[in-house]
Structure 1
Amino acid sequence: MTAKPRIAIIVGSTRPTRYADAPTQWILAQAQARGDLDVEVVDLRDHPLPLFDEVASNLWLPSQNPEAVRWQETIARFDGFIFVVAEYNHSITGALKNALDQAYKEWIRKPFTAIGYGGTGAVRAVEHLRMIGIELQMVSTHATIHIGGGDFMAVHPAFGNKPIEEVEASLLPSTKTALDELLWWAKATIAAKAADA
């Protein structure tokens, strides 16, 4: 296999005041600098999905809503995912949960990792995301990236408002591991799917 795995960085918050853009751009730069992943940002703001209202999952029946179909076509182009995760009440955002529910076939046997942010680094949200991913037949990396505690207070606009680069020393080891694992699983699942074809 010579082609780089195609990885979508999915921005999981749609609020006008979201913090997600800073970690999105930071993880994009980290992934691009490696040279072994083909990465692209996919912003849920660009996909105005209805609340899931199909007759069934698209595993069983084709979706009818054009935005749901467009979302499925977008997701289908990728070999793996990096989710940018905010934590709302110990879970992922409603927008991200809805986006995950709007597809099924497109997620199957693809790996993902996450960069979470918040007081606890979104650890509970990332754990919830992993449970959802398992049900969607995805593969979670062991390592994930968490901007939490003092680092989060330093970079969030309401507090320190510093650039992430000022706290990245504590993020880079887990980032390297998470992206290494994502690359390994992407190559493995691409090869396995090709063997099955």
Structure 2
Amino acid sequence: MSNPQNQHGVRLGRRLGLIAVGAATACTLTACYPSTDDAAKDATSSAPQAPKKLRIGQPSPEQEISSYKKTAKFVFTPTKVVEGKPEDLDELDEPDKYAGQKVVWVFVNARHVGGDALKKPPQVMSDVNVETATGPGTKFILIGALSSTPKDCHLLNGVKELGTDDVWKKGEERNVCDPYLVPEKSTVDKVTYSQGYYKEPLKWAVK
């Protein structure tokens, strides 16, 4: 004959076993393992974040640039902004086209820090722009140079220092400069660098 106490002990043991299994199942679904949201938050917090406040002279985080099926990483450091005068544009063929505007020159140090060597001049300034209190400036496509072009401005689109045979390798750097147009009565507040559609642009305060 079976012992009632043993049967009770078996039932109690099974009940405790079920409780233990239930607790283990709950553990696997909740606190014992992070949720996908928690994992995403951890991944985001561990990823390097771009500085929120940069000033002229401070380097950017690494940026990738591709040219002729090769990709390199660059660090950009805006070094200065030179603002011209409205009359600087009078020597152009259509000066009325630029009425109410002036040209500003943005100087950038671009340093190759990794990836492929690039044999053609990469468009290191294509994502650079300026901002004033009234909005962004306009890239000025200038063939050649104005008489007021700063002497130390090495244009990407016209100066032999950055010709088509120039090769950029890791560890090398170039000092480049490009012109932009802004309203003649405005002052440049920031230099910007676009990081594509999904990241906010980098911004350097000029003053």
Q: TM-score, structure 1 length as denominator?
A: 0.23
Query: Hey, which of these two has a bigger chunk of helix by percent?
Result: 1
Could you say which structure has the higher strand fraction? 2
